[in-house]
């Protein structure tokens, strides 16, 4: 799997992401600067990592979404190429029009940094094939603006088309408002694009991949992607 991690000023999770991609897929990703206009030839997966691009000025992800490299990312997605956005990367993908909706301030107005439980809603996507549908995974989360909001038609379409990939749930996998940590609509933690080739999620699966530092539930996402491309190639 040939992956490229996009780097914007103010991003701070790009090295965690690169480390995980190398660890799980075995291939070192390319780091692509925001002012570049092209992705490395043969890129399979583009990853937009987390952080605070442009200091979250204007709106989270708003300025990064208009950076030169994003035209190349949009073109990659337009060709059916896979794009993964995590945390600020999810915000950037929403702002860039690759995913619908927007991430608003957490309902409780606080920055939240803790592990959460996610239910994997389907396993038949390149991003989630490393899991079973309905499986509950524990992954870290750290954000102030992760409260997913979209108009009611968009939410109905996401739900109707099975485009909600991950939801915040209780440890037993049940929906519970107390475990919907940021107040997101329908406890949405991650969504897919219409064609299923773009995934954005707020939590950080890339930080739970090594047994030496905790649970490894995030590994399935990257292992699944690696398998997907091994099969394609």
Which residue numbers are catalytic?
87, 204, 206
3-state secondary structure of 110: coil
Choosing from 14, 95, 121, 206, the residue that interacts with another protein (CB under 8 A) is 95
Is residue 59 a contact residue for another protein (CB under 8 A)? yes
Q: Which residues pair with 148 in a beta bridge?
A: 103
Choosing from 150, 158, 199, 209, the residue that interacts with another protein (CB under 8 A) is 150
Is residue 19 a contact residue for another protein (CB under 8 A)? no
Is residue 109 a contact residue for another protein (CB under 8 A)? yes
Q: Which is nearer to another protein, 31 or 102 (CB)?
A: 102
CA–CA distance, 32 with 141 (Å, rounded to integer): 24
> Quick count: other Cβ atoms within 10 Å of Cβ 123?
17
In angstroms, give the least distance from the CB of 183 to another protein. Answer: 8
Choosing from 62, 83, 181, 209, the residue that interacts with another protein (CB under 8 A) is 62
CA–CA distance, 11 with 99 (Å, rounded to integer): 20
Question: In the structure, how many helices (H) and strands (E) does the chain have?
Answer: 5, 11
CA–CA distance, 85 with 202 (Å, rounded to integer): 8
Residues making contact with another protein (CB under 8 A): 58-59, 62-63, 66, 95, 100-102, 104-107, 109, 149-151
């Amino acid at each position: 799997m040939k992956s490229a991690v996009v780097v914007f000023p103010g991003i701070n999770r790009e090295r965690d992401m690169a480390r995980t991609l190398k660890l799980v897929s075995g291939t070192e990703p390319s780091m692509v600067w925001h002012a570049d206009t092209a992705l490395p030839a043969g890129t399979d997966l583009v990853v937009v990592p987390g952080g605070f691009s442009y200091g979250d000025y204007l709106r989270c992800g708003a300025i990064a979404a208009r950076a030169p490299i994003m035209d190349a990312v949009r073109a990659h997605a337009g060709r059916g190429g896979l794009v993964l956005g995590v945390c600020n990367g999810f915000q950037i993908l929403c702002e860039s029009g690759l995913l619908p909706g927007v991430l608003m301030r957490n309902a409780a107005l606080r920055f939240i940094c803790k592990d959460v439980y996610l239910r994997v809603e389907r396993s038949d996507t390149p991003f989630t094939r490393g899991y079973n549908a309905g499986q509950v995974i524990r992954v870290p989360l750290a954000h102030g603006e992760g409260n997913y909001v979209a108009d009611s038609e968009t939410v109905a379409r996401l739900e109707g088309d099975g485009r909600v990939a991950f939801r915040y749930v209780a440890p037993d996998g049940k929906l519970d408002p107390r475990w919907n940590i940021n107040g997101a609509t329908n406890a949405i933690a991650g969504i897919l694009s219409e064609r299923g080739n773009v995934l954005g999620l707020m939590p950080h699966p890339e930080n739970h991949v090594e047994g030496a530092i905790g649970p490894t539930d995030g590994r399935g996402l990257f292992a699944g992607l690696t398998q997907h491309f091994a099969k394609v190639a």
